[in-house]
Amino acid sequence: MSARQKSRRLPPLSGVLVLVMASTGLVVIDITIVAIGLPLISADIGDGASAESVVVTYMVAMGALTQVVGSLSDRWGRRPLFLAGIAVFTLSSLAATVAPDLLWLDVARVVQGAGAAAIMVNGIPLLADRYSGEERNLAIGAWGSFATAAGLLAPVFGGVLAETFGWRAVFAVNLPLGLAAWVLAVRVLPRAPGAADTTETSETSKSPASQGGSGAGRTDWLGSLLLMLGLGTATLLMLRSGDTPWSGQDTAVLLTACVALAAFLAVQLKVPAPTLELRMFGSPAFSGAMLAVLLSRVLTIGGSVYLVLYFSDGLGMSPTGAGLLMPPIFLAQIVMGMVGSKLIGERPPGLVIGSGYALKGAGLAALALLITPDTPWWALVVPLLAWGAGGGIAGAPVMAVAVRVTAPERVGMVAGTVSTLASLGAGVGTAALGAVYALRGGSGAEAVTDGARAVLAGSAALAVVAVLTTVTLVGPRRVPARVPVEEDGDPAPAGK
């Protein structure tokens, strides 16, 4: 590796990187920006309870389709799936902008979620096709950091748009951005397998999966339908309000999800070209990376929900004040995500990821020990920074490891698995840690603090599990610290 490569801290800018970051940011923003406009939507075309369906339908559609779309992109090609995703997302945004009633808006959001799945799940494969070695790690890190930043800006951006121009503006803003992304995609993505991207100065990947897809085997339509049914119903169940008593309808949804997912797994063992290749989980490094993805979202999303509740109800802070204490977590995560992406090219991946989770766990444990109804807010800043920094160090390398230990023609499938597990982790984390909170929490500052302390302590314990998992499964003998480079400068094939 040259001195120039060793000193590199950012991936070389390319049209593909700009495209993936911008389009992913558009999808991430749309997850939360619409929630800001719900009161205005409710006042205009629906009541408060039913207006929440505008958020739920988008999340259910996106969660149900990510794995399926990721696998299809391996067979049909990145370029057609990505272009179709942008087109569907943009046109459904137009439909949502002009929606005359709530039913129309909900249908538009389902279609928009399908387009978002195609955009989101192709991000990692496109970067894996365009970059190699350390540059690939840095590109994936930049992608993840930008997505986090977009999530930070979404509530502020959505509030300004909704208050200034009305709720339809939160959908209308997607139109020029989506059109620009589509034009850029047409320009920078190769038109055929192995075609060079004439707009780039660097060589694009010649992977069989690059833009053209593997094309091997028939499409697993039965497995795809079963997975969409299973994940859709599971996502719908996780989005239910924790304040609502469990009902017979909830039981039916749970049984449907379990039966559909069990049938999906059975089908995957029999079909020649499965939607999810279960043999990938035979690689300890891959299984460790996937478990780390799941635990990461449990710790980040689940923990932050109840920490914000402590800020507002335990410390008596205003919503604005409570919100201002959260950005340090995500800003530290953005910065240290790039550091983690750099370190994975120089140190054993399991050690880097495990160190990140150890730092994250230390921050969570410190918060559990420090918080009281009288704790000054400034005493929490350092543990919050440790929490975010640890998540950044661990997060980006996890995705890079998953890509590195997988055959190039299955990167889309891997991206779908990562997205699906991340969504499940967020839902499971919120629900499971909510149960922990319910055992200790309640009304009043003392009860809220006790509940939040229990959640943070439980999250710290899960961080220890994540450390042990990654250090054990993602060991140096399972994943090389560096991607080997052949004499011609091209990366050698990654190990399976």
pLDDT at 112: 93
Distance CA 285, CA 291 (A): 10
Whether 468 shows a pLDDT value over 60: the answer reads yes
Which of 212-216, 275-279, 414-418, 423-427 has the highest average model confidence (pLDDT)? 275-279
Mean of the pLDDT values across residues 447-462?
89
In one-letter notation, the amino acid at residue 217 is G
pLDDT at 262: 94
For residue 126, the Cα-to-chain-centroid distance in whole angstroms is 16
- The phi, psi pair for 195, rounded to 5°, reads -70, 145
Distance CA 314, CA 262 (A): 42
Between 10 and 105, the more confident residue is: 105
Q: What global pTM score does this model have?
A: 0.71
Distance CA 305, CA 184 (A): 37
Burial code (b: 16+ CB inside 10 Å, e: under 16) for 435-449 equals ebbeebbeeeeebbb
Mean of the pLDDT values across residues 263-291?
87
pLDDT at 320: 61
Burial code (b: 16+ CB inside 10 Å, e: under 16) for 42-76 equals beebbeeeebbbbbebbbbbbbbbbbbbbbbbbbb
Residues sharing a CB contact under 8 Å with residue 100, sequence separation 6 or more, in sequence order: 45
pLDDT at 198: 36
What average pLDDT is seen over the chain? Answer: 78
pLDDT at 9: 58
Mean of the pLDDT values across residues 132-157?
74
Comparing 41-45, 255-259, 437-441, which segment has the lowest mean pLDDT? Answer: 437-441
- SS3 of 441-490: the string is CCCCHHHHHHHHHHHHHHHHHHHHHHHHHHHHHCCCCCCCCCCCECCCCC
CB atoms < 10 A from the CB of 190, how many? 23
In one-letter notation, the amino acid at residue 238 is M
Comparing 162-166, 381-385, 489-493, which segment has the lowest mean pLDDT? Answer: 489-493
Whether 472 shows a pLDDT value over 70: the answer reads yes
Whether 134 shows a pLDDT value over 60: the answer reads yes
Residues sharing a CB contact under 8 Å with residue 435, sequence separation 6 or more, in sequence order: none
Mean of the pLDDT values across residues 375-395?
88
Angle, helices 53-76/123-130, rounded to nearest 10 degrees: 30
Whether 275 shows a pLDDT value over 80: the answer reads yes
Mean of the pLDDT values across residues 386-406?
80
Mean of the pLDDT values across residues 91-107?
91
Nearest to 140, CA basis, from 300, 293, 363: 293
Q: Which helix (H) or strand (E) holds 359?
A: helix 349-370
Whether 405 shows a pLDDT value over 80: the answer reads no
Whether 135 shows a pLDDT value over 70: the answer reads yes
Comparing 29-43, 56-70, 265-279, which segment has the lowest mean pLDDT? Answer: 29-43
Q: Is 267 left (phi over 0), alpha (psi -120 to 50) or beta?
A: alpha
pLDDT at 481: 45
CB atoms < 10 A from the CB of 280, how many? 19
Give the gyration radius of the chain's Cα atoms. 22
Residues sharing a CB contact under 8 Å with residue 178, sequence separation 6 or more, in sequence order: 26, 86, 89, 90, 93
Could you report the per-residue pLDDT of 107-129, keeping only the tens digit for each?
Answer: 899 899 899 989 988 888 888 88
Could you report the per-residue pLDDT of 6-24, keeping only the tens digit for each?
Answer: 445 566 668 888 899 888 8
For the chain, give the percent of residues with pLDDT over 70. Answer: 80
Whether 4 shows a pLDDT value over 60: the answer reads no
Q: How confident is the model at residue 90 (pLDDT cuts 50, 70, 90)?
A: very high
Comparing 213-217, 229-233, 294-298, 378-382, which segment has the lowest mean pLDDT? Answer: 213-217
Could you report the per-residue pLDDT of 204-246, keeping only the tens digit for each?
Answer: 333 333 333 444 456 788 888 898 888 888 877 776 656 667 8
Between 288 and 487, the more confident residue is: 288
Mean of the pLDDT values across residues 418-447?
76
> What is 288-327 written as a DSSP string?
HHHHHHHHHHIIIIIHHHHHHHIIIIIS---HHHHHHTSH
Question: Residue 372 has which token pair?
Answer: 């009281």
Whether 349 shows a pLDDT value over 60: the answer reads yes
Whether 93 shows a pLDDT value over 90: the answer reads yes
Mean of the pLDDT values across residues 299-315?
76
pLDDT at 153: 67
pLDDT at 370: 93
Between 89 and 420, the more confident residue is: 89
